[in-house]
Amino acid sequence: MPTLYIDNTNKTGDLTGADWTFTNGSTAVASAGNGTCQTDGLVAGDYVRPAGGTQWYKVASVTNEDNFVITPAFQQATIAGTATINWQDVSVKNGTSIANAWCHPALATTDTVRTAGDTIKMRANQTHVMAGIDLIADEDGTISAMIEFKGCDSADDPFSDANDTHVMFDFSDTNFQCLWQDDHYWQFENIDFIQSADGDGALYFLQSDLAKIIDCVFRDCGSTGLKVNSAAMLDIQDSSFYSNITRSIYLSVSSLNLYNCIFNGGVEGTGVGIYALGGLVFLYDCTFGVTTTHSARDIGLDGAPMAMIARRCIFDSAVVCVITSQVAGGYLKAEDYDQVEGAHKSYYWNGIIDKETTEVRSGGALSSIKGTPNANCVANFPLTLMEWEEQAVPASEQTRGVCIKQGLADPTGFPTNTELYLEAEYYDHATNCTVTTAVSTATISIYDTWTWFPVTFTPAQVQKVRYRVILKVKKSAEAYYIDNQLYDADPI
């Protein structure tokens, strides 16, 4: 479990000779006839760059003294006649000390074998340009010994820089990324993943479980910042996402925890903060669109069953959540919405449910449940406005009820007793675990007035009873309000 080091200024020396030419889009590097590649000992696997260049290139092969081949193809404008090539001889530089630090992150992920518990420390305030190359991992850590990929800072400062500026992985708007496929138990810290044009994001976890991302930034990507596909239990902490053209996180059939993360539209006006197609996400103390709003929505759920639970999160874009398919069965449940204690809000494909403290029944509870259906609220896809559970209900005839109000003046009509009702689910056998439901028959007949919705039933055993208010229609009413209390007699 060694500690390894990366410093992109570290070189073995310079290749001698003169008049080297690096040609844009070409893998061939040539001198004008006075090169000394073989004399100096350049071999495949070493790294080179033009003196003062921004990107290191791996040597694929050496042809002769004057010619060698690099990978990837040269990404910058053609450089002709340069006298100096920086060179890192990887047989000398093995990454195990600061003096022998590797010059390129690929030496720690692709070129050499990792073991569980390895820590890779990268010098602070350095940009690793990786235009034209995917950074790919090969090995797994373990639950007790993760492989750590860390940008150094003033608290962890082996290079004595006293610098807290993040390391950057810059893909320079090329169609490349960091790809972790079937690579488990990795941790990333103090890294900015920027300017990837890859549709699968600057960092892509594919079937890679239990990764951690701590204090990282995902920005200025042509499509997606971070993509997570078929991966379980990733933790993302204290990280920022902005200016990613389409979405900052693209989640598919995965589980994710986010703590204290910031999502913004940024200069590029990111369309969606988190776009999810199936899985489970917990959000804790995150903010969305507070500094710069998302151009489409903070949260988008689509395509597969998706549960998203937000606690103490702030949502500040014009559109908070869009659920685009009833097939998804997805929802966003936000507790302490906008970091207001006790303010709860849930988004479903067919409507929104809020905790309401201003529209309450006189003499009733201090809050009400506000249900706002949309056009997707129909008989086959009802909106459950409320669900409660009462314990140890006696095995005798019972009456329970709630008070409901339709809130909009000049309505086009009222729901029937099969479109809006209270149901009680109770045990109907003295010993077996079987249940049945009883439903209310009341209807609303006047807007902005509370109506008592009772239901009568007789449990066959002392057991719990579940109560639900079901809405199966969208009328012109803006919302329906439920007095947030269960009554056993008409309280109106």
pLDDT digits 0-9 by tens, 1-14? 799 999 999 999 99
What residues contact residue 345 under an 8 Å CB cut-off, 6+ apart?
A: 333, 334, 337, 352, 353, 354, 355
pLDDT at 194: 98
pLDDT digits 0-9 by tens, 98-154? 999 999 999 999 999 999 999 999 999 999 999 999 999 989 999 999 999 999 999
> Can you tell me the mean pLDDT for 22-26?
96
Instruction: Tokens for 188, please give them.
Output: 């990333």
pLDDT at 81 over 90: no
pLDDT at 427 over 60: yes
The two most distant CA atoms of the chain are separated, in Å, by 102
In terms of domains, do 177 and 315 share one?
Answer: yes
pLDDT digits 0-9 by tens, 161-178? 999 999 999 999 999 999
CATH code of residue 438: 2.60.120
pLDDT at 330: 85
132 inside domain: yes
- CA 458 – CA 228 distance, rounded (Å): 50
* Mean residue pLDDT across the chain: 94
Total tally of structural domains belonging to the chain: 3
Please provide residue 109's backbone torsions phi and psi, each rounded to the nearest 5 degrees.
-115, -40
134 inside domain: yes
454 inside domain: yes
Reference 236, options 207, 259, 262; nearest CA is 259
In terms of domains, do 263 and 119 share one?
Answer: yes
In terms of domains, do 76 and 114 share one?
Answer: no
pLDDT digits 0-9 by tens, 286-328? 999 999 999 999 999 987 778 999 999 999 989 999 998 766 5
In terms of domains, do 161 and 200 share one?
Answer: yes
pLDDT digits 0-9 by tens, 29-65? 999 888 889 999 999 999 999 988 899 999 999 999 9
- Count CA atoms within 13 Å of residue 466 on its CB side: 10
State which amino acid sits at residue 378: V
In terms of domains, do 245 and 390 share one?
Answer: no
Instruction: Tokens for 270, please give them.
Output: 């990111």
97 inside domain: no
Question: Are 344 and 355 a contacting pair, CB within 8 Å?
Answer: yes
112 lies in which domain range? 106-356
In terms of domains, do 469 and 350 share one?
Answer: no
Question: Are 486 and 388 a contacting pair, CB within 8 Å?
Answer: yes
337 inside domain: yes
CATH code of residue 157: 2.160.20.10
101 inside domain: no
CATH code of residue 76: 2.40.30.180
In terms of domains, do 197 and 256 share one?
Answer: yes
pLDDT at 411 over 80: no
In terms of domains, do 63 and 171 share one?
Answer: no
The band of 409, judged by pLDDT with boundaries at 50, 70 and 90, is low
pLDDT at 251: 95
- CA 99 – CA 94 distance, rounded (Å): 10
Residue whose entry in the numeric block shows the structure tokens 């860390």: 150
The band of 269, judged by pLDDT with boundaries at 50, 70 and 90, is confident
The band of 82, judged by pLDDT with boundaries at 50, 70 and 90, is confident
pLDDT at 327: 62
- Of 53, 88, 123, the position where a domain reaches its end is 88
Q: 0.75 cut: is pTM over it? A: yes
pLDDT digits 0-9 by tens, 175-218? 999 999 999 999 999 999 999 999 999 999 999 999 999 999 99
What separation, in Å, do the N-terminal and C-terminal C-alpha atoms of the chain show?
Answer: 71
